[in-house]
Structure 1
Amino acid sequence: MPDSKQLPVERAKLYARIMLGITTLFLPISIFDWANIQSQINFYVAIVHGLLIVGYMFLLKPGNFYPLTLVLHIASSITVAVVNHNIGGFVSYNFAIICIELMGIGFILGRARWIITATAISIIIHLIAIINEITLFWSFSDPNSLIMMSVNDNYKYLAIVSQTILLLGTGAIITILTHVINQREYELEQSRQAMQQRSDELAALAIRLETSNQQLVSTETTLRQTVDALTVAALPVGDDVVVLPLIGGFDIQRAKAVEDSLLSYIHEQRANTLILDLTSVLVASDSLLTMLERIIQGAKLLGTRVILAGLQPEVAPMMVQLKLNRQTVLSAPTLAAALELR
């Protein structure tokens, strides 16, 4: 996003380039009629004004924006007055141009007090030019070609008053429009800052949620490892008997961990009997049934007899799916009864 202080400067430089282009239009007109003293004056005035505009563009900075822009406005207003006065017919040419120049500079300045100052400058220079045209205090033009010299006094006074009022109205309109624009820009900036703040808050919240999620995942992993360590540990009973208490639910991951650790433990202990204590198992999930089937088959291959202890009534019907061989797999109502069968 552009710097809020630099943006008016860039707009002012664009305005200055437009003014420089308009000023250069006076040069070919003056050159084509160089024998006329008025054309020579217009040429030199345009050159001076062009140099002032170039200097303005190089010197313009946020720190000197307003006073330097007013200096350019003074120079532009004087240039318009002098050039049009020498062309002939000041009132017919100058007023429209000075109003347009005031509108452009007003929108660049953008603040009420500076627009009021620019309007006052335009009125003063315009009145001085009109008075000069009436009195011919300074002029290279033919008096017969000047409108203000060829009309009655009532028209002259009407022109002074009416054009002054129109310049005041132009300044007032620009002031109101720029106030509305500035207010809208301020509201938009406030909305943008609120949205940015909200975005920052959401980003911070997302980071906190991500951190909390990572902590929860880490905690869950630790708890799972702890539970697995507590609930899948086989217990040796005597020299050749191993008891495995099965507690809680079994998903695929946990069932695989029980199966791998148990078969390795049986092999290490050279156990002849494996007692699977199902007292705490209340629901026989597919993962549990698959695990029991694989453990029983693996134990048989290792030459170990399997005894199911504490089988609950809710689980017993589902154990039928395993199609257990009653000669190799025994069952007992309690762990104590299973120990007596070993």
Structure 2
Amino acid sequence: MDRRQLLSFGAVAALLPVVTSASAQDSGKVAAADPAVTQKPLLPPLESFPIWPKGKMPGAEGVTVKEEWILRNPKAGDPNDTAATHVAEPILMVRRAAKPNGAAILMIPGGGYVRVAVSRAGGLSDKELADAGTTVFIMTYRLPNDNWGSAQLAPLQDAQRALRLIRHNAAKYSIDPNRIAVMGFSAGGHLAGWLSESFERESYTPIDAADTQSAKPLVTGMFYPVMTMLAPYAHTGSVKSMFPDGATDEDKKKVSLEFNLPKDMPPTFLAHAGDDKTVPAENSLILYQALRAQKTPTELHIFELGGHGLSGQDYTTPWTAFAKRHGLWG
């Protein structure tokens, strides 16, 4: 990825909304399109495949949730601006690179662990990356308050399996299996960080050859992430979704990233806005301090403005430079 391509990706992604990064507090109410609003065209869906083989998803016994795809803003007239609720079959959507450069990114959307805010057609960020040669995989994941037998572990299981599948199928997508990064937004940032610090954890019993692969990303990008589950800086919606029946601080610490960092945590990039009223910037500040204390390569950008979503801020240019420095791009 050359400098021109990096700047193009960063500038465009900063100016336009990123479909795969959603506010952690967005409503999950099912809504139909407003017939009075001019509708944008429905874009074709990306190719996709299930993360788990049929009948092999851990903790699925007796779970009867019905997956729904809803419009995030029915009055906006964009049928592509959607979210998945009650995810029953997590999938990987693939944005293939026209001229693969060997790099791949697993993108994890947000949604407060209440839903997964993502379009079946993908978004601007993954398109820009693919145009520059990077193959992008966008995942949906199970939500912890849907009574999965694995409870809080369900999204982590999906993320581990997703990264292993990407690595296992590297040849199919012209990917270097050693050059796979993860990017996560909002609650998806928490899941990206959780994956990155839990790559050696056996969260489920291996089921096939894909599970012999490492679940460790080369480099991690976390954007306005939920990080801690402890007051006073926790995003209360994510905590309620993660622990619908309540939890002790000790239980919350088990899924608070700052308490569980391995010494070989991947290089980690963090970006947040100081005026984020949904997920306080202290989430990134605290994690940065913890990473720095153990000498994990890390970089933090706190923008004065941008709110939850870093609107109008070019956070992708420093991220791509960081990822390139740590080997994602040659």
Say whether the fold is shared (TM-score over 0.5). Answer: no
Report the TM-score, using the length of structure 2 for normalisation.
0.28
**Richer in strand (by share):** 2
Tell which structure's C-alpha radius of gyration is larger: 1
Report the TM-score, using the length of structure 1 for normalisation.
0.27
**Higher RCO (CA 8 Å, separation ≥ 6 residues):** 2
**Richer in helix (by share):** 1
